[in-house]
A = this chain, B = another copy of it.
Amino acid sequence: MLYLPQNLIMKIVSVGTVAFDAIETPFGKTDKIVGGACTYISLSAAYFNDSPNLISVVGEDFPKETIDLFKKRGINTEGLQIKEGEKTFFWSGKYHQDMNTRDTIDTQLNVLESFDPIVPNSYQDCDILMLGNLTPSVQMKVIQQMETRPKLIVLDTMNFWMEIAMDDLKEVIKQIDVLTINDEEARLLSGEHSLRKAAKIILQMGPKYLIIKKGEHGALLFGDNNIFYAPALPLEEVFDPTGAGDTFAGGFVGHLSTCDSINWEAMKKAIIVGSAMASFTVEKFGIERLVALDENQIEERINEFKKLVSFN
Protein backbone atom coordinates (compact mmCIF):
# COMPACT_ATOMS: atom_id res chain seq x y z
CA MET A 1 0.00 0.00 0.00
CA LEU A 2 2.88 2.37 0.63
CA TYR A 3 4.50 2.11 -2.77
CA LEU A 4 3.42 3.78 -5.95
CA PRO A 5 4.84 2.85 -9.35
CA GLN A 6 8.34 4.30 -9.59
CA ASN A 7 7.48 6.84 -12.29
CA LEU A 8 4.87 8.50 -10.09
CA ILE A 9 7.11 8.98 -7.08
CA MET A 10 9.01 12.21 -6.60
CA LYS A 11 12.75 12.10 -6.21
CA ILE A 12 14.05 12.73 -2.68
CA VAL A 13 17.58 13.80 -1.83
CA SER A 14 18.50 13.91 1.88
CA VAL A 15 21.58 15.40 3.48
CA GLY A 16 22.65 14.93 7.07
CA THR A 17 24.87 12.98 9.40
CA VAL A 18 25.43 9.25 9.32
CA ALA A 19 27.03 8.63 12.65
CA PHE A 20 27.62 6.75 15.87
CA ASP A 21 25.67 7.53 19.04
CA ALA A 22 26.06 6.39 22.61
CA ILE A 23 22.88 7.01 24.53
CA GLU A 24 21.79 6.87 28.13
CA THR A 25 18.13 7.16 29.09
CA PRO A 26 16.34 6.39 32.38
CA PHE A 27 15.64 2.96 30.84
CA GLY A 28 19.12 1.88 29.84
CA LYS A 29 22.34 2.62 28.12
CA THR A 30 23.90 1.75 24.76
CA ASP A 31 27.46 1.41 23.57
CA LYS A 32 28.28 2.99 20.23
CA ILE A 33 25.32 2.34 17.92
CA VAL A 34 24.48 3.59 14.44
CA GLY A 35 22.64 6.89 14.38
CA GLY A 36 22.70 10.23 12.58
CA ALA A 37 20.00 12.44 11.08
CA CYS A 38 20.33 11.12 7.53
CA THR A 39 20.24 7.52 8.72
CA TYR A 40 16.83 8.03 10.31
CA ILE A 41 15.55 10.25 7.49
CA SER A 42 16.51 7.76 4.77
CA LEU A 43 15.33 4.63 6.56
CA SER A 44 12.01 6.29 7.36
CA ALA A 45 11.50 7.72 3.86
CA ALA A 46 12.37 4.33 2.33
CA TYR A 47 9.02 2.94 3.56
CA PHE A 48 7.29 5.32 1.13
CA ASN A 49 9.83 5.96 -1.60
CA ASP A 50 11.67 3.16 -3.35
CA SER A 51 14.90 5.04 -3.91
CA PRO A 52 15.70 7.95 -1.59
CA ASN A 53 19.11 9.47 -2.28
CA LEU A 54 21.50 10.01 0.61
CA ILE A 55 24.33 12.54 0.97
CA SER A 56 26.64 12.18 3.94
CA VAL A 57 30.12 11.27 5.12
CA VAL A 58 31.51 8.49 7.33
CA GLY A 59 34.94 7.19 8.31
CA GLU A 60 36.39 3.80 7.52
CA ASP A 61 35.17 2.58 10.92
CA PHE A 62 31.54 2.72 9.78
CA PRO A 63 30.01 -0.78 9.49
CA LYS A 64 29.62 -2.13 5.99
CA GLU A 65 26.50 -3.97 7.18
CA THR A 66 24.70 -0.68 7.73
CA ILE A 67 25.62 0.53 4.25
CA ASP A 68 24.38 -2.80 2.93
CA LEU A 69 21.16 -2.28 4.89
CA PHE A 70 20.73 1.14 3.27
CA LYS A 71 21.14 -0.45 -0.17
CA LYS A 72 18.76 -3.28 0.66
CA ARG A 73 16.15 -0.68 1.57
CA GLY A 74 16.59 0.97 -1.82
CA ILE A 75 18.56 3.91 -0.43
CA ASN A 76 21.01 5.28 -2.98
CA THR A 77 24.38 5.69 -1.24
CA GLU A 78 26.27 7.17 -4.18
CA GLY A 79 26.43 10.44 -2.23
CA LEU A 80 27.91 8.79 0.87
CA GLN A 81 31.58 9.67 1.16
CA ILE A 82 33.72 7.08 2.98
CA LYS A 83 36.93 8.68 4.26
CA GLU A 84 39.79 6.24 4.57
CA GLY A 85 41.94 6.60 7.64
CA GLU A 86 39.31 8.78 9.31
CA LYS A 87 36.65 8.23 11.93
CA THR A 88 32.88 8.63 11.83
CA PHE A 89 31.11 11.45 13.68
CA PHE A 90 30.30 10.42 17.25
CA TRP A 91 27.80 11.88 19.68
CA SER A 92 27.08 10.77 23.20
CA GLY A 93 24.22 12.06 25.34
CA LYS A 94 22.19 11.42 28.42
CA TYR A 95 18.45 12.08 28.69
CA HIS A 96 16.90 13.48 31.85
CA GLN A 97 14.03 11.80 33.63
CA ASP A 98 11.42 13.78 31.66
CA MET A 99 12.95 12.61 28.33
CA ASN A 100 12.40 16.07 26.87
CA THR A 101 15.82 17.41 27.77
CA ARG A 102 19.28 15.91 27.46
CA ASP A 103 22.93 16.67 28.14
CA THR A 104 25.62 16.15 25.54
CA ILE A 105 28.40 14.11 27.11
CA ASP A 106 30.78 13.92 24.16
CA THR A 107 30.95 15.15 20.57
CA GLN A 108 33.72 13.98 18.24
CA LEU A 109 33.26 15.71 14.88
CA ASN A 110 35.88 13.56 13.07
CA VAL A 111 34.91 13.38 9.35
CA LEU A 112 32.25 16.00 9.88
CA GLU A 113 34.84 18.69 10.55
CA SER A 114 35.78 18.95 6.88
CA PHE A 115 32.57 17.65 5.34
CA ASP A 116 32.18 19.01 1.82
CA PRO A 117 28.95 17.54 0.45
CA ILE A 118 29.03 16.59 -3.21
CA VAL A 119 25.75 16.10 -5.07
CA PRO A 120 26.21 13.24 -7.57
CA ASN A 121 24.92 13.84 -11.09
CA SER A 122 22.37 11.09 -10.64
CA TYR A 123 20.81 13.14 -7.79
CA GLN A 124 19.97 16.08 -10.07
CA ASP A 125 16.31 16.69 -11.01
CA CYS A 126 15.57 16.28 -7.33
CA ASP A 127 11.94 17.02 -6.43
CA ILE A 128 12.25 17.13 -2.65
CA LEU A 129 15.45 18.17 -0.94
CA MET A 130 15.58 17.30 2.76
CA LEU A 131 18.33 19.16 4.59
CA GLY A 132 18.88 17.37 7.90
CA ASN A 133 20.39 19.17 10.87
CA LEU A 134 23.95 20.23 9.92
CA THR A 135 26.12 23.36 9.80
CA PRO A 136 23.97 25.90 7.89
CA SER A 137 26.81 26.66 5.44
CA VAL A 138 26.99 22.95 4.53
CA GLN A 139 23.23 22.88 3.99
CA MET A 140 23.64 25.93 1.73
CA LYS A 141 26.35 24.20 -0.33
CA VAL A 142 23.90 21.44 -1.20
CA ILE A 143 21.19 23.87 -2.31
CA GLN A 144 23.74 25.65 -4.50
CA GLN A 145 24.73 22.44 -6.29
CA MET A 146 21.19 21.75 -7.44
CA GLU A 147 21.03 22.60 -11.16
CA THR A 148 17.28 23.11 -11.06
CA ARG A 149 15.59 24.19 -7.87
CA PRO A 150 13.78 21.28 -6.19
CA LYS A 151 9.99 21.59 -5.95
CA LEU A 152 10.32 21.53 -2.18
CA ILE A 153 13.23 22.25 0.13
CA VAL A 154 12.76 21.18 3.76
CA LEU A 155 15.26 22.20 6.42
CA ASP A 156 15.76 20.89 9.92
CA THR A 157 18.05 22.73 12.32
CA MET A 158 18.58 23.25 16.04
CA ASN A 159 19.24 25.84 18.75
CA PHE A 160 23.01 25.17 18.57
CA TRP A 161 23.20 26.82 15.11
CA MET A 162 21.01 29.71 16.25
CA GLU A 163 23.55 30.38 18.97
CA ILE A 164 26.76 30.15 16.94
CA ALA A 165 25.78 30.71 13.28
CA MET A 166 22.52 32.67 13.22
CA ASP A 167 23.49 34.76 10.16
CA ASP A 168 24.37 31.70 8.06
CA LEU A 169 21.21 30.00 9.24
CA LYS A 170 19.04 32.97 8.27
CA GLU A 171 20.64 32.96 4.81
CA VAL A 172 19.77 29.33 4.20
CA ILE A 173 16.29 29.74 5.71
CA LYS A 174 15.61 32.34 2.99
CA GLN A 175 16.04 29.62 0.37
CA ILE A 176 13.72 26.96 1.74
CA ASP A 177 10.03 26.03 1.70
CA VAL A 178 9.52 24.17 4.98
CA LEU A 179 11.35 24.71 8.26
CA THR A 180 11.10 22.10 11.03
CA ILE A 181 12.17 23.13 14.55
CA ASN A 182 10.94 22.57 18.07
CA ASP A 183 8.98 25.04 20.21
CA GLU A 184 11.98 26.40 22.09
CA GLU A 185 13.85 26.90 18.83
CA ALA A 186 10.87 28.72 17.32
CA ARG A 187 10.92 31.06 20.30
CA LEU A 188 14.68 31.54 20.01
CA LEU A 189 14.60 32.19 16.27
CA SER A 190 11.69 34.65 16.44
CA GLY A 191 12.19 36.25 19.84
CA GLU A 192 8.47 35.67 20.54
CA HIS A 193 7.03 33.42 23.25
CA SER A 194 3.62 32.93 21.64
CA LEU A 195 4.04 30.22 19.00
CA ARG A 196 1.41 31.87 16.84
CA LYS A 197 3.37 35.14 16.83
CA ALA A 198 6.64 33.26 16.42
CA ALA A 199 5.24 31.49 13.36
CA LYS A 200 4.23 34.79 11.76
CA ILE A 201 7.74 36.16 12.14
CA ILE A 202 9.46 32.99 10.93
CA LEU A 203 7.21 32.73 7.87
CA GLN A 204 8.44 36.19 6.89
CA MET A 205 12.03 34.93 6.93
CA GLY A 206 11.52 32.80 3.82
CA PRO A 207 9.75 29.48 4.33
CA LYS A 208 6.15 29.00 3.20
CA TYR A 209 5.51 26.44 5.92
CA LEU A 210 6.71 26.07 9.48
CA ILE A 211 6.48 22.84 11.45
CA ILE A 212 6.92 23.22 15.19
CA LYS A 213 7.71 19.86 16.79
CA LYS A 214 6.57 19.60 20.40
CA GLY A 215 7.66 16.04 21.20
CA GLU A 216 5.10 14.32 23.40
CA HIS A 217 2.73 17.24 22.73
CA GLY A 218 2.55 16.72 18.97
CA ALA A 219 3.39 19.13 16.17
CA LEU A 220 1.98 22.32 14.71
CA LEU A 221 1.95 23.24 11.03
CA PHE A 222 1.68 26.90 10.07
CA GLY A 223 1.29 28.24 6.52
CA ASP A 224 -1.30 29.28 3.91
CA ASN A 225 -2.83 31.46 6.68
CA ASN A 226 -3.81 28.28 8.40
CA ILE A 227 -2.88 26.12 11.39
CA PHE A 228 -2.93 22.36 11.80
CA TYR A 229 -2.36 20.53 15.07
CA ALA A 230 -1.01 16.99 14.76
CA PRO A 231 -1.36 15.10 18.02
CA ALA A 232 1.26 12.82 19.51
CA LEU A 233 0.15 9.34 20.40
CA PRO A 234 0.54 8.91 24.16
CA LEU A 235 2.90 5.94 24.45
CA GLU A 236 3.29 3.48 27.31
CA GLU A 237 6.97 4.27 27.31
CA VAL A 238 9.25 6.61 25.43
CA PHE A 239 12.37 4.51 25.54
CA ASP A 240 14.82 6.67 23.55
CA PRO A 241 13.81 9.91 21.79
CA THR A 242 17.02 10.01 19.69
CA GLY A 243 16.18 10.23 16.00
CA ALA A 244 12.48 10.97 16.52
CA GLY A 245 12.68 14.32 14.73
CA ASP A 246 14.65 12.84 11.84
CA THR A 247 12.31 9.87 11.52
CA PHE A 248 9.47 12.39 11.45
CA ALA A 249 11.22 14.30 8.64
CA GLY A 250 11.78 11.07 6.69
CA GLY A 251 8.13 10.07 6.93
CA PHE A 252 7.11 13.62 6.07
CA VAL A 253 9.11 13.84 2.83
CA GLY A 254 8.48 10.16 2.11
CA HIS A 255 4.74 10.69 2.15
CA LEU A 256 4.94 13.94 0.17
CA SER A 257 6.93 12.15 -2.53
CA THR A 258 3.86 10.00 -3.22
CA CYS A 259 1.44 12.94 -3.53
CA ASP A 260 0.03 14.36 -6.76
CA SER A 261 0.83 17.84 -5.58
CA ILE A 262 2.34 19.40 -2.52
CA ASN A 263 -0.34 21.54 -0.92
CA TRP A 264 -1.89 22.17 2.51
CA GLU A 265 -3.87 18.91 2.52
CA ALA A 266 -0.81 16.88 1.53
CA MET A 267 1.27 18.63 4.19
CA LYS A 268 -1.24 17.77 6.92
CA LYS A 269 -1.30 14.10 6.03
CA ALA A 270 2.51 14.10 5.72
CA ILE A 271 2.80 15.40 9.28
CA ILE A 272 0.55 12.63 10.56
CA VAL A 273 2.65 10.07 8.67
CA GLY A 274 5.87 11.59 10.05
CA SER A 275 4.44 11.56 13.58
CA ALA A 276 3.39 7.94 13.21
CA MET A 277 6.88 6.93 12.02
CA ALA A 278 8.53 8.85 14.89
CA SER A 279 6.28 7.10 17.40
CA PHE A 280 7.93 3.81 16.42
CA THR A 281 11.51 5.05 16.65
CA VAL A 282 11.19 6.12 20.30
CA GLU A 283 10.03 2.64 21.35
CA LYS A 284 13.56 1.21 21.24
CA PHE A 285 17.18 2.37 21.13
CA GLY A 286 18.55 3.75 17.87
CA ILE A 287 17.17 2.43 14.58
CA GLU A 288 16.16 -0.95 16.02
CA ARG A 289 12.41 -0.38 15.88
CA LEU A 290 12.47 1.71 12.72
CA VAL A 291 14.11 -0.96 10.60
CA ALA A 292 11.74 -3.69 11.80
CA LEU A 293 8.42 -2.29 10.57
CA ASP A 294 6.03 -3.69 8.03
CA GLU A 295 3.44 -1.84 6.01
CA ASN A 296 0.52 -3.08 8.09
CA GLN A 297 2.05 -1.76 11.30
CA ILE A 298 2.57 1.63 9.70
CA GLU A 299 -0.97 1.75 8.36
CA GLU A 300 -2.37 0.72 11.73
CA ARG A 301 -0.37 3.39 13.53
CA ILE A 302 -1.53 6.08 11.09
CA ASN A 303 -5.09 4.97 11.77
CA GLU A 304 -4.49 5.27 15.50
CA PHE A 305 -3.49 8.88 14.93
CA LYS A 306 -6.66 9.48 12.93
CA LYS A 307 -8.81 7.98 15.65
CA LEU A 308 -7.02 9.96 18.32
CA VAL A 309 -8.43 13.28 17.12
CA SER A 310 -11.66 12.38 15.36
CA PHE A 311 -14.96 13.44 16.87
CA ASN A 312 -18.47 14.26 15.62
Contacts and interface: CB of A to CB of B under 8 A. Distances in A.
Interface of A: 97-99, 193-197, 199, 214, 216-218, 220, 227-238, 265, 268-269, 272, 306, 308-312
Nearest to A265: B312
A235 B196 contact: yes
A236 B197 contact: yes
Given A98-B193, A218-B217, A229-B218, A311 B269 contact: yes
B227 A234 contact: yes
- The 10 lowest CB-CB distance pairs between A and B, nearest first, are A217-B217, A229-B231, A268-B311, A309-B309, A196-B234, A229-B308, A196-B236, A195-B234, A269-B311, A229-B309
A216 B194 CA distance: 10
A206 to B, nearest CB: 21
Contacts of A309: 228-231, 309-310
A220 B228 CA distance: 17
Nearest to A199: B234
25 contacts: A99-B193, A194-B235, A194-B236, A194-B237, A194-B238, A195-B216, A195-B234, A197-B237, A217-B217, A217-B218, A218-B229, A218-B231, A220-B234, A227-B233, A227-B308, A228-B311, A229-B232, A229-B308, A229-B309, A230-B309, A231-B309, A268-B311, A268-B312, A272-B311, A306-B311
Nearest to A232: B229
A193 B99 CA distance: 10
A97 to B, nearest CB: 7
A230 B229 CA distance: 10
Given A98-B193, A220-B234, A272-B311, 16 more contacts: A194-B236, A194-B237, A195-B234, A196-B235, A196-B236, A197-B236, A197-B237, A217-B218, A218-B218, A227-B234, A228-B311, A229-B232, A229-B308, A265-B311, A265-B312, A269-B312
A151 to B, nearest CB: 21
A27 B231 CA distance: 29
Nearest to A99: B193
A228 B228 CA distance: 17
Contacts of A269: 311-312
Contacts of A312: 265, 268-269
A190 to B, nearest CB: 13
A228 B307 CA distance: 8
A232 B231 CA distance: 10
